[in-house]
């Protein structure tokens, strides 16, 4: 079983829709939770990060972490065609250096 599970999609939505992306994990030592966005033929870029449980909002993006359920989410409001990309969740323990990534969800926002 993978430490981090993420539905690979693909997910296709109309422009303006609210998008919900999710990951579950099994390692209770994870304390840092991140979302990376990856455009085709490019490396991932950090979108948002959250420490421990709670919510964080940045413009149209909201990240949520529920450590009791080992479940994290990324919400995109008023989705735009430019949001079309693969979204990867990533997690990290307090000590240690490596990020553990989910498989990534491929999102297409149709105009």
CB of 15 to other proteins, least distance (A): 27
Find the shortest distance in angstroms from Cβ 86 to other proteins.
10
State how far the Cα of 86 lies from the Cα of 9, in Å rounded to an integer: 9
Is 101 one of the binding residues for other proteins (CB under 8 A)? yes
Q: Quick one: DSSP state of residue 9?
A: -
Nearer to other proteins, 49 or 75 (CB): 49
Strands 45-51 and 30-38: antiparallel
Buried/exposed code over 44-66 (b: 16+ C-beta within 10 A; e: otherwise): beebbebeeeeeeeeeebbbbbe
Q: What is the footprint of other proteins within residues 48-87 (CB under 8 A)?
A: 49, 51
Cis, bond preceding 10 (omega within 30 deg of 0): yes
**Interface with other proteins, residue 43, by CB under 8 A:** yes
> If binding is defined by CB under 8 A, does position 45 make contact with other proteins?
yes
- Distance from chain centroid for Cα 26: 16
Of 19, 21, 34, 107, which one interacts with other proteins (CB under 8 A)?
A: 34
The residue within the footprint of other proteins, chosen from 1, 14, 28, 96 (CB under 8 A), is 96
* Contact residues: other proteins, CB under 8 A: 4, 6, 8, 32, 34, 41-46, 49, 51, 88, 90, 92, 94-104
């Amino acid at each position: 079983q993978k430490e981090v599970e993420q539905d690979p999609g693909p997910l296709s939505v109309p422009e303006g829709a609210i998008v919900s992306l999710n990951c579950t994990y099994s390692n209770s030592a994870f304390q840092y939770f991140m979302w990376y966005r990856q455009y085709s033929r490019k490396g991932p870029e950090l979108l948002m990060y959250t420490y421990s449980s709670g919510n964080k909002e940045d413009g149209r993006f909201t990240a949520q972490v529920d450590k009791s359920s080992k479940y994290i989410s990324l919400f995109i409001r008023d989705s735009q065609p430019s949001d079309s990309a693969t979204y990867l969740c990533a997690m990290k323990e307090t000590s240690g250096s490596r990020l553990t990534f989910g498989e990534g969800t491929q999102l297409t926002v149709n105009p």
